[in-house]
Chain A
Amino acid sequence: MAALVKARAERRAMRRAGEGGRRVEYLAFLLAGELYAVAMAHVAEIRRPPPITEVPRAPSTVLGVISVRGKLVTVIDLRRRFQLPETPVDRKTRILLADGGAGEQIGLLVDEVQQVWRLAADEIEPASVLGGEQPAHIVGIGRPAGASGAILVLLDLRPILELP
C-alpha cells in the first residue's frame, strides 16, 4: 500500500519535472485590475488590513504603520508606487507581509490576492519583451502554461522597498 502511494507520488513528481525543470512559486495579486506576482519565498504572511495609522511626513507611498504581534510594520501602497488608480479598501483588500531586507518586514497593500502559481523557467519571459527600459522592480513576465491568456507581472521587491 505504502509502496503504491510512493510510486504515485514519484510519477507525479516526474511529470512535473518534465514540464520544464525547477519550478518557483509565485503569489499573484491584483493591483488596479492588473495581475502582479512576487516570489512566494519573500512573502511571510497574508493579512486582512487592520486600522492603518498614517505617518505624517512619510514618503507618499507609505500608507502608514500597523502593529503585527507587537511589532510595527510599515505598509506601502503598491498602487501609489506604480502610479495606478486607487480603489477603496474593501473586504478583498489584503496586506502581504514581505521581507523588506535589513531584517525589516514590510506590509504591501494589494487589492486582492489571486492564487499561487508554480512557474517553470520556460514560462517566464524576460522583462525586455515589454520593450525599452523597464523599471528595476519588473523582473519578468509570467505566462503560466495551461492558463490561457493569464499574464503575471513578476516583481522584485527590493527596488520597491527602497523608499524614494
Chain B
Amino acid sequence: MGEAGGGREGGDKARDEFLSEAQELVDGLGRDLLVLDQGLKRDQVDAEVINEVFRAVHTLKGLSGLFGAARMAGLSHELEDVLDDLRLGRIEVSQAVLDTLFQAVGLYGRILAAEGGEGADPAEEVEQFLLAVGQLSQRRGAGGGAGVMAQYDLDPGLLGVLTEYEEHRLRANIQQGQRLYRIRVRFSLATIDSALDDLKAKARPHGEIITYLPTGSGSDIDTVELEILLASRASLELLRSAITVPNVSLDEVGRRAAHGLSPSTPAPPPAGATSPPAALDDAGPPPTTAYGAVSRDTHSVPVDSYPSTPRDASPSRVPVASAAARGARAAGPDLSLRSVSQTVRVDIRKLDRLMTVVGELAIVKTAIGELAERVRGRAVDAREVGVELARLNRTFDRHLAQMQGGILEVRMVPLGQAFDKLARVVRQISREHSKDVNLVITGAETEIDKLIVEELSDPLMHMIRNAIDHGIETRDERLRVGKPPVGTIALNAFQKGNHVVIEVEDDGRGMDPEVILEAAIRRGVVTRDEAKELGLREVFGLVFMPGFTTKDVATDLSGRGVGLDVAKTNIAKLGGVVDIASDVGIGTKMTITLPITLAIISVLLVEIGPRLFAIPLANVEEAIALDPTLVRAVEGREVLTVRGASLPICRLARMFGVPHRERERARAFVVLAQVGNRRLGFVVDELVGQQDIVIKPLGKSLARVRGFAGATELGDQRVALVLDVASLLEEVLAPAETRFLASAPDGGRG
C-alpha cells in the first residue's frame, strides 16, 4: 500500500506488531470459518462461532483504523455489516456466504502482505469483493418466525429488553424445538463474576443461555438476583441436577395453549424460518420486535451483551445496579479490543524454570569471583585453584545445558499452527475443483521450532494443492474405479529422533514413472540412456525440477509439479528433504523430514585440508577410519564397503577445491551421513570433536552458494562453515538433477 512505503521510519516496531496481531486475527478467522463450515455440513451452526468471527473482524477494523490501513478498514467495515446480519439471523449461513468469507480471509492475507511491503496492493480485488459482499447483505431474509415466541409464557418485560441478537437466538432455539427454562439465581455482589462463570460453565453443555437480567426483586445491598433464560433439550430434572449452584431455582417456561399453534408438536418450525433467504425483492427492513411497545420494568438492568455494536445502542437502558451490570458484562462475550498478539506464547512455568537456572548461574559466578579474590590474595595454591575451577566449570556447563534446553523448548510450537491454515486451503481448492476431499490430520501436536513452522506452510500448501489438483480424481472417476467418492488427503506428523517427519498422502490416481520419464526425456532433462540408470526414487524426484512446472509437460504428467520445485527448495533451506512414493491408481505419499530446531545444534567439527568445517550431528550416523583398500569405483562413483554393504562416498576436499595438506598419505576418516533414506560417506582429513553451536545464516550475497547451511563462530574469532548435508546428499546422489541445475545460472564455481 502506498502509505506503507512512505513513513516506515519511526513506527516500524508498532507497525510490525500491528501486522503480526492482524495476521493472527486473520488466522483465527480462518479457523473459525472452518468450524462453521464443518457445522454447516452437519446442519449445526454454532452461534458462538459466528460471534467469534464477528469479533475478529471488528477487532481488525479497529486495528486497521489505528494504523491507517485504509484498505483493510474498508474491507472489515463491509464484512462487519454482513456478519452482523448473520449473527442476527437476517441472512442465513450458507456455503455461498462461507465462500465469500473465506475469500475475505485470502484478501486480508494479501492486504497484510502488501502492508508489510511484499506484493502489490490488491485494490481491484477488494473492490470487486466489496461489490459481492454488498449483494450478500441485500439478500437479507425477513428473519421470520417472530410469532413463535408468543407461544411461550414469557414475561413481556423480559422480552421487551432483549437485544435484537438475543431475540434472534431465542427464536432460533425455539424453532429448533428446544425447551425454555427460567433460572433465578441470587449472587453475592462480591463473587458475582466467578459465580456467574461457574453457572454458565455448568449450563453450557446442556444448552444456550439466551440472556440474563437482574430481576430487580429480592436484591439487597450485597446481593443481586438474576433471571437467566436458557434454551435446552434436556429435561428439567437433568438440568436441576446439572446446575448446582447456591440460591438457584429452575423452572421450565410454560407454553400458552391459547394461541393454539399446534401445541402437541414442540415448536413447529414456521414457514419463513427454515426456508432459504428471501429473494432480492423481499429485502425489506428486519421486522421490529412485536414487544417493542411493552413498557419496561425500570428495575431491570438489561445487560447488553454486545455493547459496542452500534445498532444495539439504546439510550434508555440505564444500568441501575452497576456492579451487577459490570459483573455480568465482564462475564459475557466481550467485544473489547483485547490484545491478541500471540507471537510468542510461553507457559510461565517454562520461564520460571529458566529463571531458576539463571539463579544457579549467578551462584557459579559468585563462586568464581570468590576464587579470583583468593588467588589474588595468594591464599591458595595452584592445584587447589585448578580443582575448584574444574568443579565450577562442570556446574556451569550443567546449568548452561539446562538453560539451552529451556530456551529451545520455548521456541517450540505445535505443527497445528501450520496445519490450520492448510485445512482452509483444502476447502478452497476442493471447492474450486468440485472435488470432495476429506483432510485427515494426525500429529498436529508435534512440536517443532517456530521458525520452521513459519517456513513450512507454503511448501505444504503446494504439495496439498498438487494432491487435490492432480492426484485426487473426480467423484465420477473415483466411483468408476471403485474408490470411495470422497477423496482423502492425510497430513501426518510425528517425531523421529531429532527429526520431525511430515507426510502428505493422497488416495488419488498416483504417478506413473513411465510418463514422468518420457516427459523428462522430451524436456531434455535426462537422455534416454541416463533414464535407464535412474532408480524409482530418482524418477519421482524429477517432478521437483523447475522445468516440470511448464504447462505442456504438466498436462502429460497430469499436472504434477506445479510449485513443487519451490516447495522442495524451501524445505531444503530448512535442512529438510522430501521423498516421494507413489503407486499408480492407489495414491501418492510425499514425506518431508525436518530437523526439530534450527537454533542450537550439535556438530562434528572436521578438518578438510587446513580448514575447519562443521557437520550437524543430527545427520551423522558414525565416523570411521577410511580403509583405502575397501574403496571401489562403481559407475564413476567411489563406493566404500562398510560391514558388507556399499556406501557411496564423497571426497569433500575435491568437491570444495580445498588444497591438499602436505602429508598426503596421512589417514583419513569417513563421516557417515544420513538424511531420510539416503546415506553418503563424507571423506575428511581429521575429526576434531563435537561442539554445540549457534548456526548463523550466510548473507544474502552468498544465497546462491550451495552446500552450506550457514556458519558458526568458534571461540577464537574463527568461523567454521556448517555443511548442509541434505543438499550435499542431493547433489552427489542425484546426478541428473545436478546436471540440470548446472545449466541454470548458478553461482557455483565447482
Contact = CB atoms under 8 A, between A and B. Distances in A.
A126 interface: no
A76 B702 CA distance: 11
Nearest to A59: B747
B123 interface: no
A104 B701 CA distance: 8
A60 B750 CA distance: 11
Interface stretch (A2-10, A18-26, A49-57): A49-57
A65 interface: yes
Given A65-B719, A72-B711, A56 B700 contact: no
A100 B611 CA distance: 27
Interface in A38-87: 50-51, 53-60, 62, 65-67, 70-74, 76
Nearest to B698: A72
A102 interface: yes
B42 interface: no
Of listed B705, B707, B710, residue having the most chain A CB within 10 A: B705
A67 B716 CA distance: 11
B656 A71 contact: no
Of listed A57, A102, A164, residue having the most chain B CB within 10 A: A57
A67 B656 CA distance: 21
A67 B748 CA distance: 23
Contact of A65 (B698, B707, B717, B749): B698
Contacts of A54: 611
B708 A55 contact: yes
B665 interface: no
Contacts of A56: 655-658, 707, 721, 749
A102 B700 contact: yes
A28 interface: no
Interface string B699-715: 11110011110110100
| Contact-residue bracket for chain B | 20 to 34
Interface in B427-474: none
A32 B706 CA distance: 32
A163 interface: yes
B717 A72 contact: no
A152 interface: no
Contact of A163 (B655, B697, B747): B747
A157 interface: no
Contacts of B717: 50-51, 67
Interface string B739-750: 000000001111
B611 A74 contact: no
A53 B705 contact: no
B701 A74 contact: yes
B697 A72 contact: yes
A164 B745 CA distance: 10
A70 B697 CA distance: 11
A109 to B, nearest CB: 14
A120 interface: no
A67 B713 contact: yes
Interface in B533-590: none
A72 B710 contact: yes
B720 interface: yes
Contacts of B697: 72
B718 interface: yes
Of listed B698, B699, B747, B750, residue having the most chain A CB within 10 A: B699
A163 B655 CA distance: 22
Contacts of B655: 56
A163 B701 contact: yes
B226 to A, nearest CB: 58
B719 A72 contact: yes
B296 interface: no
B696 interface: yes
A56 B723 CA distance: 11
A74 B699 contact: yes
Nearest to A52: B719
B698 A53 contact: no
Given A65-B711, A74-B702, A58 B749 contact: yes
Contacts of A155: none
A60 B657 CA distance: 12
A51 B715 CA distance: 12
A56 B707 CA distance: 9
Contacts of B707: 56-57
A106 interface: yes
Nearest to B608: A56
Contacts of B696: 67, 70-72
A62 B720 contact: no
Nearest to B707: A57
A73 B720 CA distance: 13
Contacts of A50: 717
A50 B710 CA distance: 18
A113 interface: no
A55 B720 contact: no
Nearest to B748: A57
A62 to B, nearest CB: 7
A71 B720 CA distance: 13
B429 to A, nearest CB: 34
A76 B749 CA distance: 16
Contacts of B749: 56-60
A102 B702 CA distance: 13
Contacts of A67: 696, 711, 713, 717, 719
A161 interface: yes
Contacts of A66: 719
Of listed A55, A56, A62, A163, residue having the most chain B CB within 10 A: A56
24 contacts: A51-B719, A55-B698, A55-B708, A56-B656, A56-B657, A56-B721, A56-B749, A57-B748, A58-B702, A59-B747, A62-B701, A65-B711, A67-B713, A70-B713, A71-B696, A72-B698, A72-B711, A73-B699, A104-B699, A105-B699, A106-B699, A106-B701, A161-B701, A163-B747
Given A55-B721, A60-B749, A100-B699, 8 more contacts: A54-B611, A56-B655, A56-B657, A57-B707, A58-B747, A70-B713, A72-B696, A74-B699
Interface of A: 50-51, 53-60, 62, 65-67, 70-74, 76, 100, 102, 104-106, 161, 163-164
The 9 tightest CB contacts between A and B, nearest first, are A56-B656, A67-B713, A53-B719, A74-B701, A74-B699, A104-B699, A72-B696, A57-B748, A58-B705
Interface of B: 611, 655-658, 696-702, 705-708, 710-711, 713, 717-721, 747-750
